[in-house]
Amino acid sequence: MNTADLGRRVGVPSTALFTDQYELTMVQAALQAGTADRHSVFEAFTRRLPEGRRYGVVAGTGRVLDAVENFHFDDEMIGFLRQQEIVDEPTLEWLADYRFSGDIWGYPEGEVYFPGSPILRVEGSFAECVLLETVILSILNHDSAIAAAASRMSAAAGGRRLIEMGARRTHELSAVASARAAYVGGFDATSDLAAGFRWAIPTVGTSAHAFTLLHDTERDAFRAQVDSLGRGTTLLVDTYDVTEAVRAAVEIAGPELGAVRIDSGDLLLVAHRVRQQLDELGATGTKIVVTSDLDEYAIASLAAAPVDAYGVGTQLVTGSGHPTCSMVYKLVARAGSAEPDAPLVPVAKKSLGAKSSVGGRKWAARRTDEHGVAEAEVIGTGPVPEELAERQLLVELVRGGEVVAREPLDAVRERHVAARAGLPMSAIQLSRGEPVIPTEYA
């Protein structure tokens, strides 16, 4: 991994209160019991993929690293916890000095994952690791869900340009995270300027129907936009009559018109008619952008249409029906005492139903066939088989509390393209099905 910090370092408040109260009360009880310093291993994983999904996408790792770095309790937070009597005074003193000093390993961001994959492994004392549960899960569950939806849409688009434009359909901070996750999953640009500022994602945008309605005529609106933004702009042509709007757009901007956007109607039919009209008017290089509540299925249905780009909002930022990945954060091993050399003991939740877990610090590798295509996700707790030694998936992210694996977002995006290409071809089918490769335990 490239460890250079190439992202824009935007000041963010402490993430320490992005925490469920029981994490702090567990710390208090463990401190009193003398077990808080026991070396522990936590893992983030999902027991199953969302219904019908063939693979998951790891996204949000870079944001997790930022969150861990910024996880500290300032005086105001300690005062709040004291006033609300959340924990006792010895625990408050411990929290005031908190900085994560352990190690984190995980699947590199952009990689694909499957049920049971140890997506993130956090090691350190019980107290310092348990505090990170909520913030880690909130980031990974959200970002990975958005990236998985984006990946499916990217596969359906078949190389056509994808624009994320869901900021008005979600929380303002979720919008920024969604744009980042969508970029990881294969989108090319975002309409959200905060995402462009924070993550250097390309931004796009021209005008809405309101701009057309502001002017006395559609021609006046088009002329104003072209005069201001140039002939390469994108004109929205479905405010009134599409045919008349396309004609006016080409007359005003000329054949150099960059693109027209269609936001309503039978997109398949309208796109064909608009393409024919543009070509007849000599605007053969003018592109067609379609929007209007698109998802991966709608994008796939437009594969035969002369569409050059898709703008996706609501369905993307809500995970296209699956807004979470149901990841959990479980203790899988802990030392028998607080002594530095105390051996780790595998631990696991045993319960009825499908909520049990597998104990032990895990490794993961992806077995491939003779053509290099993935055929199984292999997970184990003992020695790594020699034939899988070069195919291990976990990489070091944090060592002794210091981040060691930051990388540019474009590298993450490229990794996802390669990871998805290494799966069986059925991975990108939109029909419902089981995970495209099985999970095996060694």
- Residues 418-435: what's their mean pLDDT? 94
Q: Check residue 2 and give its pLDDT.
A: 37
Does the pLDDT at position 1 exceed 50? no
* Full DSSP string of 93-130: HHHHT----SEEEEPPTT-EE-TT---EEEEEEHHHHH
Please report, rounded to a whole number, the percentage of residues in the chain having pLDDT higher than 90.
93
* Residue with the larger pLDDT of the pair 11 and 306: 306
Partner residues linked to 121 by β-bridges: 43, 105
* Residue with the larger pLDDT of the pair 44 and 13: 44
Helix axes 21-33 and 89-96, enclosed angle (nearest 10):
110
Neighbours of 247 (CB within 10 A): 17
SS3 290: strand
Q: Which residues, 6+ apart, have CB-to-CB distance to 13 below 8 Å?
A: 70
d(CA 199, CA 287) in angstroms, rounded, equals: 27
Q: Check residue 11 and give its pLDDT.
A: 58
Q: Check residue 357 and give its pLDDT.
A: 81
Phi, psi of 125 (to 5 degrees): -70, 155
Q: Do 290 and 266 contact (CB within 8 A), yes or no?
A: no
Q: Of 51-55, 181-185, 346-350, which one has max mean pLDDT?
A: 181-185
Q: Check residue 356 and give its pLDDT.
A: 73
Does the pLDDT at position 423 exceed 70? yes
Please report, rounded to a whole number, the percentage of residues in the chain having pLDDT higher than 70.
96
Partner residues linked to 161 by β-bridges: 309
* Burial (0-12, 13-18, 19+ Cβ within 10 Å), 67: buried
* Full DSSP string of 198-235: HH---B-----HHHHHHSSSHHHHHHHHHHHH-TTSEE
Q: Check residue 349 and give its pLDDT.
A: 83
Given pLDDT bands bounded at 50, 70 and 90, which one contains residue 150? very high
Q: Check residue 8 and give its pLDDT.
A: 57
SS3 238: coil
pLDDT digit string, tens, across residues 345-370: 999 988 766 677 899 999 999 999 99
Residue corresponding to tokens 């901070």: 173
Q: Check residue 431 and give its pLDDT.
A: 86
Does the pLDDT at position 282 exceed 50? yes
- Residues 161-179: what's their mean pLDDT? 96
Q: Do 144 and 59 contact (CB within 8 A), yes or no?
A: yes
What's the pTM value of the predicted model, to 2 decimals? Answer: 0.94
Q: Check residue 350 and give its pLDDT.
A: 81
CA-wise closest residue to 168 among 210, 200, 134: 210
Q: Check residue 347 and give its pLDDT.
A: 96
d(CA 136, CA 133) in angstroms, rounded, equals: 5
- H helix runs in 34-60, sequence order: none
Q: Check residue 10 and give its pLDDT.
A: 56
Does the pLDDT at position 407 exceed 90? yes
Q: Check residue 353 and give its pLDDT.
A: 63
d(CA 202, CA 204) in angstroms, rounded, equals: 7
Given pLDDT bands bounded at 50, 70 and 90, which one contains residue 12? low
User: What's the full length of the chain, in residues?
Assistant: 442
- Residues 427-437: what's their mean pLDDT? 92
Kindly report the average pLDDT of the chain as a whole number: 95
pLDDT digit string, tens, across residues 290-300: 999 999 999 99
Does the pLDDT at position 7 exceed 70? no
pLDDT digit string, tens, across residues 189-206: 999 999 999 999 999 999
- Residues 23-34: what's their mean pLDDT? 98
Q: Do 434 and 114 contact (CB within 8 A), yes or no?
A: no
Element of type H or E holding 163: strand 161-164
